[in-house]
């Protein structure tokens, strides 16, 4: 039987991507991250969206680069954690707590059971929370936990073009080239059944 990871959440792969982006900034733009922060705060517009648009128009930045710089300049919490693994791991449980607070608080036991099912699948499975979803990774995303309503979690799966049978729903994701292509509705622990586990194992195997 596979052992559960000691750490409930793992560092999101996007952290390494942002670290590389920061390292490449001086070569690509002539300024390092600190110099850009000072420049934006002194010369840029006041609002985050306006900064993003200004960076794209005046400096030709792409959407991702402009957004990251604008977020960081305005103290966006995720932006500040994006390149720091320890900071990300400190924030990850907060993302989940906020996601499952208020009207959706009743989903917490269902979420915990679903997360446990995913992490118990194999040693190389990891969960990397974002603000509105919790992607489940092997090498790539194989599944996704997303609170959809007050009473239902949409459990997304990366199943390529496999036909949907039983309770499995085709989201149209394969045609749109999305990673998540199918989903199952999970409203209680009873829904974490043999069918769900079968499709989760299939998604895991497809990412070998």
Segment 86-99 shows an average pLDDT of 92
- Residue 125: alpha-carbon gap to chain centroid: 14
Tokens of 203: 């998604």
Quick: pLDDT tens for 149-177: 999 999 999 999 999 999 999 999 999 99
Residue 103's Cβ-side half-sphere holds a number of Cα atoms within 13 Å equal to 6
Are 185 and 152 within 8 A, CB to CB? yes
Strands ordered across the beta sheet of 153-157: 126-127, 134-137, 141-147, 153-157, 182-186, 169-170
**pLDDT tens digit string along 119-138?**
999 999 999 999 899 999 99
Q: How far apart are CA 193 and CA 208, in angstroms?
A: 23
Q: What phi and psi values does residue 157 have, to the nearest 5 degrees? A: -135, 145
- Alpha-carbon gap, residue 161 to 143, rounded angstroms: 15
**pLDDT at position 151:** 97
What confidence score (pLDDT) does residue 197 get? 98
Query: Smallest Cα–Cα separation from 121: which of 140, 143, 99, 88?
Result: 143
């Amino acid at each position: 039987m596979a052992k559960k990871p000691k750490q409930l959440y793992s560092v999101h792969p996007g952290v390494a991507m942002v670290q590389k982006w920061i390292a490449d900034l001086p070569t690509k733009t002539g300024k390092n991250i600190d110099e850009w922060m000072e420049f934006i705060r002194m010369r840029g517009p006041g609002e985050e969206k306006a900064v993003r648009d200004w960076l794209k128009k005046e400096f030709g930045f792409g959407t991702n680069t402009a957004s990251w710089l604008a977020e960081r300049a305005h103290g966006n919490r995720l932006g500040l954690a994006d390149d720091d693994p320890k900071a990300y791991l400190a924030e990850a449980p907060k993302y989940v707590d906020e996601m499952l607070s208020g009207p959706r608080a009743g989903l917490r036991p269902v979420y915990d059971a679903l997360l446990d099912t995913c992490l118990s699948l194999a040693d190389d499975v990891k969960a990397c929370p974002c603000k509105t979803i919790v992607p489940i990774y092997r090498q790539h995303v194989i599944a996704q936990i997303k609170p959809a309503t007050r009473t239902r979690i949409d459990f997304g799966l990366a199943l390529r073009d496999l036909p949907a049978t039983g309770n499995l729903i085709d989201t149209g994701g394969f045609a749109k080239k999305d990673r998540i292509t199918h989903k199952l509705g999970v409203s209680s622990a009873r829904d974490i059944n043999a069918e769900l586990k079968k499709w989760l194992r299939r998604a895991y195997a497809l990412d070998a």
